[in-house]
Amino acid sequence: MPQPTSLLITGAYSGLGREVLRLAFQAGFDVTSLVRTPAQASELTETYPGIRCLPCDLGCAEAVSATLHELKSSYFAHVLFCAGTGQVGAFEALAPETLHTTLQVNLLSIMQMVHGLLQPDAMCPGKITLVSSLMATLPAGQAVTYAVSKAGLSHFYRSLKQAQPALPLLCLEIGAVNTPMHAKAGNTVSRRGFKSPQKMGQKIFAAMLRQHGLRTLSPEWALLRLLQRLRP
């Protein structure tokens, strides 16, 4: 009997990651989910019996190191980095700890995780998928730190792809999706036109299984990115 496909996922407690988790569970994947708190881990394992949930605060480098040690002998056919955080507002008005947390969660913890998974004594993953943002290339005056973190993530993909061309990699630069992160970030603008998290979660899941390279998952998002690159 074939073994189930294994998936390591971050950001599965809500939003896009929660939809991907639902689809992976439905498809019979062997899922390991990293969540921020033990309470979140308990809730997910109740809802999706049989998945493995590890509390890991991605805003803390020491917690990420401890989790990497725990995962050292585990192999994953897919690793999906879907967790993200951010804060909307004037850059100079943001608290210093917000700057650190945004960069740590959206970029540094991902680099730390990938670095650990690629070590000779670790089980190198089959494929790594990074969820980045159109803000990696579009101006974002009210979300400067978030945009910088996502620009760094997209550049990390490009540099890693050049350094290790044989490593299966996918980077998704997506636009606005109606997820709880916007409310947490203090975004009060209308969400009309924002994509459905269910539909985009389904697209992310399908792309994770079938696509490689740099993708946007939406024709209008691809056009926005192209127009920005053509600007003088």
- Mind listing the pLDDT tens digit for each residue in 92-141? 998 889 999 999 999 999 999 999 999 988 888 899 999 999 888 887 78
Section 19-33 average pLDDT: 97
The model's pLDDT over 162-217, given as tens digits with 9 standing for 90+, comes to 999 999 999 999 888 777 655 554 555 545 667 888 999 999 999 999 999 999 88
Q: Is residue 224 part of a domain?
A: yes
3-class state of residue 152 by DSSP:
helix
Helix, strand, coil percentages, rounded to 5, for the chain: 50, 15, 35
Question: CA 136, CA 103: separation in Å to the nearest integer?
Answer: 13
DSSP code for 37: S
33 token code pair:
């989910």
Q: How far apart are the first and last CA of the chain?
A: 57
Q: Is residue 106 part of a domain?
A: yes
Q: Which domain holds residue 202?
A: 6-230
CATH of the domain at 188: 3.40.50.720
Helices (H), the chain: 15-26, 38-47, 61-70, 96-103, 109-117, 144-163, 180-184, 197-210, 219-230
Higher local confidence (pLDDT), 141 or 2: 141
Higher local confidence (pLDDT), 224 or 145: 145
CA distances from 187 to 86, 89, 178, 180 (A): 10, 8, 11, 10
35 token code pair:
């969540």
Q: Is residue 1 part of a domain?
A: no
Q: Is residue 177 part of a domain?
A: yes
Q: Is residue 10 part of a domain?
A: yes
Contact 147, 228 (CB under 8 A): no
Q: Is residue 215 part of a domain?
A: yes
Q: What's the confidence (pLDDT) of residue 122?
A: 85
Instruction: For residue 219, name the pLDDT band (cuts at 50, 70, 90).
Output: confident
Q: Is residue 104 part of a domain?
A: yes
Instruction: For residue 89, name the pLDDT band (cuts at 50, 70, 90).
Output: confident
Q: Is residue 149 part of a domain?
A: yes
Section 148-171 average pLDDT: 96
Q: What's the confidence (pLDDT) of residue 190?
A: 46
CA 171 to chain centroid = 9
The count of structural domains within the chain is 1
Edge to edge, the sheet with strand 213-215 lists 52-55, 30-35, 6-10, 78-81, 128-133, 169-174, 213-215
Instruction: For residue 1, name the pLDDT band (cuts at 50, 70, 90).
Output: very low
